[in-house]
Amino acid sequence: MTTDDVLAVPVADLRPALEAVLMVADQPLDQVALATAVGYPEGEVVEALGALAGEYDEQGRGFELRNVAGGWRFYTREEYAAVVEAFVLDGQQARLTQAALETLAVVAYQQPVSRARVSAIRGVNVDGVMRTLVNRGLVEEAGHDGEHGATLYKTTSYFLERIGVVSLDELPELAPYLPDMEDMEEELAASATTTDEPSDEPSAEPTDEPPAEGDA
């Protein structure tokens, strides 16, 4: 890569610019990608990366900059791995609220299913709870309803892992106790006239979403 190949971007201080890019990278970045991003020649970028890595080591920072598999990325320093592990596991083991568990059960047995249908079954607005389940990795989007265009949701492989089954066929026989969707067609048809996305307008409908529901 030559100087002429560098993108015409505003040139910032090299080291802080590299740190900013590496901070948001979700995978290792090679010197070409980094040089293009910060607008500096590769040689200067490689030199700056080495200097940054050395500085972090000398300062005993909780992270380090490594060149792994041809790319640079920030990593937790090994001696602090136990602290990070405890933090991550604590978040994964936090209990779901009763509302979240009930919503998850409806999704598991009726999937793929829209939020409107889950709300109709439970009789409350489940927007906040569904966001919680998606953020926890237990529920994910599964396309759109061909009739109304509503976003559909299903459980994830992580959900199966957490409850200790290989497939949905191994779920307990609870489906017969859930309301028959055919008995709710009028209500669902009415709800389908509005978008399946959360509305900005105030709603008087009951909801499962307390002020901190996203932390369920």
Which of 46-50, 91-95, 180-184 is the most confident on average? Answer: 46-50
Handedness of CA 130, 134, 138, 144 (dihedral sign): positive
Burial class (CB in 10 A: 0-12, 13-18, 19+), 19: middle
Per-domain residue ranges of the chain: 3-80, 95-215
Question: In 3D, which of 48, 72, 46 has the Cα closest to residue 63?
Answer: 72
Average pLDDT score over the chain: 78
184 has pLDDT over 80: no
Taking the complete model, does pTM exceed 0.75, yes or no?
A: no
Structure confidence at residue 33 as a pLDDT band (50, 70, 90) = very high
Q: Which CATH number fits domain 95-215: 3.40.50.620, 3.40.50.11720, 1.10.10.10, 1.10.1380.10?
A: 1.10.10.10
Mean pLDDT value across residues 89-103? 76
Token duo for residue 40: 């500096």
Number of other CB atoms surrounding residue 77 within 10 Å: 14
Q: Residue 48's pLDDT is what? A: 95
Equal CATH topology for 3-80 and 95-215: yes
Could you tell me which CATH number the domain at 3-80 has? 1.10.10.10
Residue 33's contacts (CB-CB under 8 Å, 6 or more residues apart) are 71
Q: Dump pLDDT digits (tens) for 120-179.
A: 988 898 988 998 899 888 999 998 888 778 899 999 988 888 787 778 888 877 655 555
Nearest Cα neighbor of 130 from 73, 45, 214 is 214
Whole-angstrom distance, CA of residue 38 vs CA of residue 204: 50
pLDDT at 148: 79
Beta-bridge partners for 151: 144
Q: Categorize the per-residue pLDDT at 202 as very low, low, confident or very high, splitting at 50, 70 and 90.
A: very low
Higher pLDDT, 87 or 129: 129
Q: What is the pLDDT of residue 162?
A: 79
